[in-house]
């Protein structure tokens, strides 16, 4: 457990002495969830750092108009939406459901200000996490110009993903995807069928299943 905690993104690079001192000053809540349990629901207030320390969860979100649903599998160790803790909304953007048994470590938001902020490495790690998120979104927005239809489809799926690898599932009607891609339904269908023929995706009724995002990207 000690090694697992030190591998979490917020604590990486922290000395054992500082980490031991920190553990004595903050409250750690360990919570276990079973298969199918809803751990966090979209819109819930983000009042804690939620660390997935063991197991797997499914993250899911819907489009603004409800025209699609996107889900991905996330494996431990992982810090859930630290960027949602700040800003205007202050609430989670996705729903997280346990896949099998999994364990979470919860650290109340107040400790960011009272204890975690005292350690330079924690401040830098948090800044890097938030900056990486901003840079990912910025790159997604400004690199669409001049892309082929296939590249736009791939970039769309990448932009929805928190983890740039692993299993993803996009539930969407072909007409809605065509509208989002600013393309005809026929052309979108051709590109998706070509990707399926290459074994990179699987097409189901109103669903695109991606076994490994890294293969789609490459």
Mean pLDDT per 10-residue run, the chain (218 residues)?
A: 79 88 89 97 92 95 90 93 84 96 92 87 89 75 74 91 93 95 95 96 95 94
Distance CA 208, CA 195 (A): 11
Please report the pLDDT score of residue 215 as a whole number.
94
User: CA 150 to CA 134: how far, in whole Å?
Assistant: 24
Q: Are 61 and 93 in contact (CB under 8 A)?
A: yes
Q: What is the pTM of this model?
A: 0.86
What per-residue confidence (pLDDT) applies to 168? 97
Instruction: Name the CATH superfamily for 2-140.
Output: Jelly Rolls (2.60.120.10)
Q: What's the pLDDT at 116?
A: 86
Burial per residue of 29-54, b for 16 or more beta-carbon CB atoms within 10 angstroms, e otherwise:
eeeebeeeeebbeeeeebebbbbbbb
The CA–CA distances, whole Å, from 207 to 62, 69, 201, 218 equal: 14, 9, 10, 21
Where exactly are the structural domains of the chain? Answer: 2-140, 143-217
Query: What per-residue confidence (pLDDT) applies to 58?
Result: 97
- The architecture of the domain spanning 143-217 is Orthogonal Bundle (1.10)
């Amino acid at each position: 457990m000690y090694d697992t905690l030190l591998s979490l993104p917020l604590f990486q690079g922290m000395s054992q002495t500082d980490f031991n001192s920190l553990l004595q000053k903050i409250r750690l809540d360990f919570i276990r969830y079973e298969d199918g349990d809803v751990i966090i629901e979209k819109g819930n207030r983000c009042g804690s750092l939620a660390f997935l320390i063991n197991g797997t969860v499914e993250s899911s979100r819907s489009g603004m108009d409800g025209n699609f649903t996107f889900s991905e599998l996330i494996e431990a160790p992982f810090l859930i939406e630290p960027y949602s803790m700040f800003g205007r909304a202050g609430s989670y953007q996705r729903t997280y459901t346990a896949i099998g048994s999994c364990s979470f470590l919860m650290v109340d938001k107040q400790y960011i200000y009272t204890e975690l902020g005292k350690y330079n490495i924690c401040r830098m790690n948090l800044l890097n996490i938030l900056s990486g998120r901003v840079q990912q979104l910025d790159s997604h927005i400004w690199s669409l110009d001049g892309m082929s239809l296939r590249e736009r489809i791939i970039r769309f799926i990448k932009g929805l993903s928190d983890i740039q690898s692993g299993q993803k599932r996009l539930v969407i009607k072909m007409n809605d995807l065509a509208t989002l891609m600013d393309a005809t339904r026929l052309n979108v269908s051709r590109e998706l069928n070509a990707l399926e023929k290459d074994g990179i995706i699987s097409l189901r009724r109103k669903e695109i299943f991606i076994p490994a995002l890294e293969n789609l990207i490459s």
